[in-house]
Structure 1
């Protein structure tokens, strides 16, 4: 009787997981599709002026592969680059100047904002400084991009053409992250997959929807909109600044578009699990608004959706329950099928798809670790800075 009850519980739990996957497959904005690329666009009659703002802290190792791609943009209008050295200790600012002297191209200005005041995240303080410098040129658009992002020569003109044609206030591309090491192959495509599951790209671009997100490595922003919604002052302490920016713009009546990039690539390596762990855990609990109830719900949801299917298959086979094994197997099959397009986008072998439950378990542990670090008072640590808990941030006067 006891074993029968346990098997029945496994069957019902697996059925719940299968129903969850059918809902995700059909009702979550088709998040699993990877065909959301730059929308239809045409060249404008007159190309608007653009200022590129690049915040950087200790990025000397990344700059040779990234900064020249910005300087050498094939853009028909007026454009220049404002590089903000955020207190680097590795010669980042001087290397940026040297690369500009070596490669030429767009004019480069290197500035330094000093240490951020209380209540400001370091990157956003640097972005604010760069935008302030850029406004002296009165650009129509700002391109906010990271120092580890390499752009194809036509990246800027394609972004601007898409923004002008579609009437978007924000056009953002999720840069293709580096996938070289074994851990990167296992974790990185899943990172983008999970992001798209939380913020389905198709919903972001639709008017009248509340879903809003951007990818901080590549954000083209209308300057007038930035001034109107107070970017980045309105979310100056945000750890997940790209989502905060998109929410501010959309909440202010602006239009936001986000999709996957074809030729915008991150050159930053994450060769070890430890590197990837830090990347995820530094902001995972912030994503949950530092709410323990949301954390508990997220852990339970990850377990039901990603861990139950393989457990049900193993338990069903061990107990001789065809119902448990079949139901769990169907849920696992749907999960695997939704992950295949992302693996193809990253040009990875499809045998990685059935391993998604293991990767999801790693993300579950990273999320819990993020909460543990928060309650230990460490906040979100990045490049030698530890940011205060939200409740410790002073209110705006």
Structure 2
């Protein structure tokens, strides 16, 4: 009787996992498709002025591969670059000036805002300073881009054309992350896949949809929209600033668009598992609003969706439970099939698709570690700074 009850429970759990995957396949905004690219666009009759704002903290290692691509933008209108040196100790600011002298191109201004006051993350304090410098040029658009992002020569003009054609207040591209090492190949495509699963790109661009997200490495933002949404002041304590920015824009009635990039690339290497672990764990618990209840639900959800299918298939075969094995195998097959387009987008071998449960287990452990580090007072740490949870920061007038 006890054995039968256990088998029955395993069947129901595996069936629940399969049902979850059928729902994800059909009802979660077709998140697994990778054809959401810059929408149809036409060149405007007049090219508006644009200011590029680049927050940078200890970025000397990647700046030679990224900053020249911004300076070399083939933009028909007026554009200039503002790099904000956020307290770097590796000569980031001076290197930026040297690269501008060497490569020429768009005008470059290097500023430094000093240490952020209480309640601000360093990046958003730097962005605030950059926007303040740019405001004197009266730009119609601001391009907020990270110091590790390299742009194709036509990147700025295609972003502006897309924003003007589609009437978007914010256009964001998910930069193609580096996939050179074995760990990067295993973890990085899954990172983008999981992000799209949480924030389906098709829903983000739909008017009236409540789904809001952006990719912080590349966001073209209308200046008047930034002022109306009080960006970055309204999101000054956000560790996951790109999603917070998108929510602030949508809350103010703005229209946003997010899709995958073809020629906007991150040049930052994450060669070891430890590097990728820090990238994910530093903000994973912040994504869950530092809630133990949400953490427990996330762990349970990840286990049901990603870990149950292979366990059900293998366990069902071992126990002679055909129903369990069929449900588990079918769920695993759907999972691998939905992951395949992202692997193709990153030019990775398709045999990595069945390994997604193992990668999901890594992300589960990273998320738990993020919570542990937070409760030890070391959560949301980045380049020498550790940020408190938002509700511990006194609000400013």
Q: Could you tell me which residue of structure 2 aligns to residue 138 of structure 1?
A: 138
State the Cα distance separating 1:377 from its structure 2 match. Answer: 1.7
Q: Could you tell me which residue of structure 2 aligns to residue 180 of structure 1?
A: 180
Q: Could you tell me which residue of structure 2 aligns to residue 331 of structure 1?
A: 331
2:302 paired with 1:302 = yes
Superposed CA offset, 1:211-241 (max 9, x none): 0000000000000000111000001000000
Q: Could you tell me which residue of structure 1 aligns to residue 255 of structure 2?
A: 255
Task: Answer yes or no: is the 8 Å Cα contact 2:83–2:111 preserved in 1.
Answer: yes
2:200 paired with 1:200 = yes
- Which structure 1 residue ranges, 4+ long, deviate > 4 Å from structure 2? none
Q: TM-score, normalised by structure 1?
A: 0.99
Structure 1: distance between partners of 2:99 and 2:371 = 40
Structure 1: distance between partners of 2:150 and 2:260 = 14
What does 1:208-287 correspond to in 2, within 5 Å?
208-287=208-287
Superposed CA offset, 1:32-78 (max 9, x none): 00000000000000000000000000000000100000000000000
Superposed CA offset, 1:251-310 (max 9, x none): 000000000000000000000000000000000011011111111110000000000000
Superposed CA offset, 1:176-196 (max 9, x none): 000000000000000000000
Secondary structure at the counterpart of residue 337 of structure 1: helix
Aligned length: 397
Secondary structure at the counterpart of residue 299 of structure 2: helix
Structure 2: distance between partners of 1:394 and 1:270 = 35
Secondary structure at the counterpart of residue 82 of structure 2: strand
Structure 1: distance between partners of 2:191 and 2:147 = 20
State the Cα distance separating 1:391 from its structure 2 match. Answer: 2.7
Gaps of 5+ in 1: none
Secondary structure at the counterpart of residue 29 of structure 1: coil
Q: Could you tell me which residue of structure 2 aligns to residue 171 of structure 1?
A: 171
Superposed CA offset, 1:361-396 (max 9, x none): 000000011111111122310001111222321112
State the Cα distance separating 1:117 from its structure 2 match. Answer: 0.3
Gaps of 5+ in 2: none
Task: Answer yes or no: is the 8 Å Cα contact 1:377–1:389 preserved in 2.
Answer: no
Q: Could you tell me which residue of structure 1 aligns to residue 22 of structure 2?
A: 22
Structure 1: distance between partners of 2:16 and 2:85 = 50
Q: Could you tell me which residue of structure 1 aligns to residue 59 of structure 2?
A: 59
- Please tell me the root mean square deviation across aligned C-alpha atoms, in Å: 0.6
Structure 2: distance between partners of 1:377 and 1:276 = 21
